[in-house]
């Protein structure tokens, strides 16, 4: 599961995870984190500090894993929408071959549209799920296609301009979420009832260790009969999967230790067979393989893009351990049982033994699929509840990604939306550290906490379309509850636990009730799972604290602010809501989660939304950021053996996207 943002010596150590200036042999080279900005997107770059400290064998392992990840890149494009690969191929051909006037408004609109599609891995916005709207006409695109001898069939051409398939993922209440979602996990004539009834018949060999049915397949209806098209070698996406396997086999050959090599072997077997028991076996082995400098995430993992939470999007992240920072933060995983024992959960919902929780700060070396260009800043896996309970989980914080975000420039929005100077000072002094600790607590303690009641099914079955937002909100609440706790200071993680907690609470409420609204068009509901959870947590706490004026809505000079008057009472409210969200998950209470999310997390106060958008107009920084990836370039001898691997930066965003399409184009346009 993803999270899409100490005392002074700790903070300094964290900041040097990636250095703003590259210092080597007394030569100082400025590094610019910014690449370009367009529409609502800012493109950044990141470094790989510590690369030269790796052995050649370790560098090879990283290189092979990065190549394996990129080999499956087009799977994500096809998963997102059935016409994406056709559209991308056509638009890239136009972009690469058009020799006409490139100074016109129409051309610039075309270029921006293509860049937005690259960023979202398809024609739907990466966050809102709305279809991207071109700011040029069909006639102009026809002119470009004729000029470049580009072909695109009628349906794929017209869908860019009409109202069909308007939402990649439709989470609205009271509609057929599967039928109205454009995501390519289901055939066009498959309904929500079809999906639910199909998986009701699936029985795991061991009910205590349920298989992740639906995770690695497309569900289609042929002659009225439902069938799964499994992602595997020889199956759906087989050509790309064979390329992934080729690079994974190379990676297995340079594994750092037996445990790591055995895990990679199981992943290869899973890709070859599509067998879900092998997937579980792999996750058990991968979770237990914690030694070494290099680790990775690879396969069909997160289910946010499935309106019913069954199917995993293709994703890879290759990472290098930052041992210094990981050692400093290991205190969280070492004390996971204390956090569980002292949480406000009902006793029956607490784990007697929190096992195998590992936490590392890592340096990202490459990303692909659902993790790129838009990347998480923290990840906790595996997602299966039974594996978390019996074996444990791995949590990582992407240190160099977080550092790149923080050094890419400030928009000035903070001063506009804070209530007063005291709140501003708290945020400037403690906000950055509070955010990092919230990420760590969310991933390490939050997702690892709690347990289901005996006999209660997986949350995708019981909570359905609300499962993802409930889980992310629950993990957020764990983090919020412990951010305002003296235990953090006792563990040596912070110098002033109360001010850290106050800054965290200020920032969360400010974002949940106001500033995240800059990402929505006026009149839109909140649909993305993380945005929903931030709103329902904040709105619930605001409403429940009205009688005691815990959070005060302040209007000054025509502007709205939310000011926390009582942090102790807000801490108690967060504890109450955490207890309730765990109860909902543990008991599989669909009615309660529907009431919580629909009542607090979906609808937006239109007056406040309009005000926020108006106040935000003065700022030019885009609300979304993502990354180009460093390029790993192998050097070889006359025998073709790799002798060194150099890290370079791509020339630009467009250049990298075109290069990826050329070099990792392993799927046909129709699958």
| Percentage of the chain modeled with pLDDT above 90 | 88
329: pLDDT strictly greater than 90: no
**Do residues 551 and 564 lie in contact, with contact meaning Cβ atoms separated by under 8 Å?**
yes
Q: Is 124 helix (H, G, I), strand (E, B) or coil?
A: strand
Cis bond before residue 382 (omega within 30° of 0): yes
Report pLDDT for 153.
87
In the numeric block, the tokens 């921006």 are attached to: 112
Q: What is the mean pLDDT of residues 566-573?
A: 98
Most confident of the following: 56-60, 385-389, 393-397: 56-60
6: pLDDT strictly greater than 50: no
Bigger pLDDT: 448 vs 140: 140
174 within domain boundaries: no
574 within domain boundaries: yes
44: pLDDT strictly greater than 60: yes
Domain hosting residue 420, numbered range: 410-619
548: pLDDT strictly greater than 90: yes
Report pLDDT for 24.
31
**Do residues 511 and 496 lie in contact, with contact meaning Cβ atoms separated by under 8 Å?**
no
Report pLDDT for 481.
98
356 within domain boundaries: no
Cis bond before residue 373 (omega within 30° of 0): yes
Return d(Cα 313, Cα 184) in angstroms, integer. Answer: 10
Return d(Cα 201, Cα 211) in angstroms, integer. Answer: 13
**Do residues 199 and 217 lie in contact, with contact meaning Cβ atoms separated by under 8 Å?**
no
Give how many domains the chain has, as a whole number: 1
Q: What is the mean pLDDT of residues 466-478?
A: 96
256 within domain boundaries: no
Q: What is the mean pLDDT of residues 569-580?
A: 98
Angle at 311 between CA 309 and CA 315, to 5 degrees: 115
593 within domain boundaries: yes
Residues 6+ apart with CB under 8 A from 357: 333, 336, 392, 393, 395, 444, 445, 448
417 within domain boundaries: yes
Q: List, in sequence order, every residue forming a beta bridge with 27; answer none if it has no partner.
A: 24
Q: Which element (helix H / strand E) includes 635?
A: strand 631-636
Residues 6+ apart with CB under 8 A from 9: none
Return d(Cα 150, Cα 141) in angstroms, integer. Answer: 10
Report pLDDT for 356.
78
Report pLDDT for 330.
85
Report pLDDT for 408.
83
Query: Which strands, in side-by-side order, build the sheet including 34-38?
Result: 34-38, 41-44, 624-627
**Nearest CA-CA partner of 618 in 414, 404, 409:** 414
pLDDT band at 355 (very low <50, low <70, confident <90, very high): confident
27: pLDDT strictly greater than 50: no
97 within domain boundaries: no
* Tokens, residue 553: 């809505």
The DSSP annotation for 38-64 comes to: ETTEEEE----TTGGGS-HHHHHHHHH
Is the four-CA dihedral 330, 468, 366, 408 of positive or negative sign?
negative
Judging by DSSP bridges, how do beta strands 41-44 and 34-38 pair with one another? Answer: antiparallel
Q: Is 295 helix (H, G, I), strand (E, B) or coil?
A: strand
Is the four-CA dihedral 385, 386, 392, 398 of positive or negative sign?
negative
In the numeric block, the tokens 């709207």 are attached to: 133
Return d(Cα 38, Cα 310) in angstroms, integer. Answer: 34
**Do residues 69 and 369 lie in contact, with contact meaning Cβ atoms separated by under 8 Å?**
yes
**Do residues 444 and 395 lie in contact, with contact meaning Cβ atoms separated by under 8 Å?**
yes
| Percentage of the chain modeled with pLDDT above 70 | 95
Angle at 380 between CA 621 and CA 309, to 5 degrees: 85
Angle at 455 between CA 453 and CA 459, to 5 degrees: 70
Q: Is 65 helix (H, G, I), strand (E, B) or coil?
A: helix
The torsion region of residue 52 among left (phi > 0), alpha (psi -120 to 50) and beta comes to alpha
Report pLDDT for 324.
80
Judging by DSSP bridges, how do beta strands 41-44 and 624-627 pair with one another? Answer: parallel
660: pLDDT strictly greater than 80: yes
Radius of gyration of the chain (CA): 24
User: Which region among 15-29, 202-216, 313-327, 502-516 has the lowest average model confidence (pLDDT)?
Assistant: 15-29
Report pLDDT for 411.
59
394 within domain boundaries: no
């Amino acid at each position: 599961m993803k999270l899409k943002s100490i005392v002074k010596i700790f903070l300094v150590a964290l900041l040097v995870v990636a250095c703003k200036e590259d210092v080597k042999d007394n030569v100082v080279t400025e590094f610019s984190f910014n690449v370009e900005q367009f529409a609502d997107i800012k493109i950044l770059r990141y470094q790989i500090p510590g690369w030269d400290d790796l052995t050649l064998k370790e560098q090879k392992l990283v290189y092979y894993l990065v190549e394996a990840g990129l080999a499956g890149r087009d799977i994500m494009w096809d998963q997102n929408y059935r016409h994406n690969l056709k559209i991308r191929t056509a638009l890239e051909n136009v972009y690469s071959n058009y020799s006409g006037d490139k100074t016109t408004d129409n051309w610039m609109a075309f270029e921006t549209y293509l860049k937005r599609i690259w960023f979202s891995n398809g024609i739907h916005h990466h966050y809102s799920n709305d279809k991207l709207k071109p700011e040029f006409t069909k006639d102009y695109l026809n002119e470009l296609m004729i000029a470049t001898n580009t072909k695109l069939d009628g349906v794929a051409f017209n869908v860019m301009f009409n109202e069909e398939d308007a939402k990649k993922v439709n989470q609205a209440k009271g509609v057929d979420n599967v039928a109205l979602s454009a995501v390519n996990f289901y055939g066009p004539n498959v309904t929500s009832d079809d999906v639910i009834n199909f998986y009701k018949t699936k029985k795991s060999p061991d009910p205590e260790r349920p298989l992740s049915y639906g995770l690695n397949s497309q569900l289609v209806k042929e002659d009225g009969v439902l069938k799964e098209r499994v992602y595997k070698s020889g199956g759906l996406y087989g050509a790309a999967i064979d390329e992934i396997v080729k690079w994974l086999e190379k990676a297995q050959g340079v594994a750092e230790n037996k445990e790591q090599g055995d895990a990679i072997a199981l992943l290869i077997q899973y890709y070859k067979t599509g067998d879900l028991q092998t997937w579980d076996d792999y996750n058990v082995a991968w979770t237990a393989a914690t030694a070494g400098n290099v680790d990775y995430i690879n396969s069909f993992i997160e289910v946010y893009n499935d309106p019913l939470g069954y199917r995993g999007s293709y994703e890879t992240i290759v990472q290098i351990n930052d041992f210094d920072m990981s050692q400093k933060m290991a205190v969280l995983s070492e004390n996971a049982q204390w956090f569980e024992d002292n949480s406000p959960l009902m006793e029956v919902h607490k784990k007697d033994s929190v096992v195998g929780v590992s936490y590392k700060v890592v340096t990202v070396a490459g990303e692909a699929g659902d993790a790129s260009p838009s990347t998480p800043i923290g990840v906790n896996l595996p997602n299966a509840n039974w594996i978390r309970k019996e074996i444990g989980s791995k949590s990582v914080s992407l240190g160099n990604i977080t550092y790149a975000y923080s050094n890419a420039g400030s928009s000035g929005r903070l001063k506009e939306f804070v209530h007063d100077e005291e709140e501003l000072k708290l945020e400037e002094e403690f906000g950055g550290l509070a955010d990092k600790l919230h990420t760590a607590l969310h991933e390490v303690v939050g997702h690892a906490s709690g347990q289901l009641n005996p006999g209660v099914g997986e949350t995708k079955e019981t909570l359905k379309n609300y499962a993802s937002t409930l889980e992310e909100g629950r993990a957020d609440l764990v983090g919020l509850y412990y951010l305002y706790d003296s235990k953090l200071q006792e563990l040596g993680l912070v110098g002033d636990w109360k001010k850290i907690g106050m800054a965290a609470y200020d920032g969360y409420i400010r974002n949940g009730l106001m500033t995240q609204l800059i990402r929505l068009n006026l009149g839109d509901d909140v649909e993305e799972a993380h945005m929903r959870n931030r709103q329902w947590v904040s709105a619930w706490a605001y409403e429940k604290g009205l009688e005691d004026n815990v959070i005060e809505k302040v209007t000054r000079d025509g502007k709205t602010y939310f000011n926390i008057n009582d942090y102790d009472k807000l801490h108690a409210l967060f504890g109450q809501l955490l207890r309730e969200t765990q109860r909902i998950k543990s008991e599989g209470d669909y009615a309660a989660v529907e009431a919580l999310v629909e009542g607090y997390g979906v609808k937006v106060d239109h007056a406040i939304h309009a005000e926020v958008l108006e106040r935000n107009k003065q700022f030019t920084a885009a609300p979304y950021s993502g990354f180009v990836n460093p390029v790993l370039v192998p050097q070889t001898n006359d025998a073709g053996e790799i002798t060194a691997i150099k890290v370079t930066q791509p020339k630009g965003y467009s250049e990298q996207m075109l290069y990826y399409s050329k070099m990792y184009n392993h799927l046909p346009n129709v699958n």
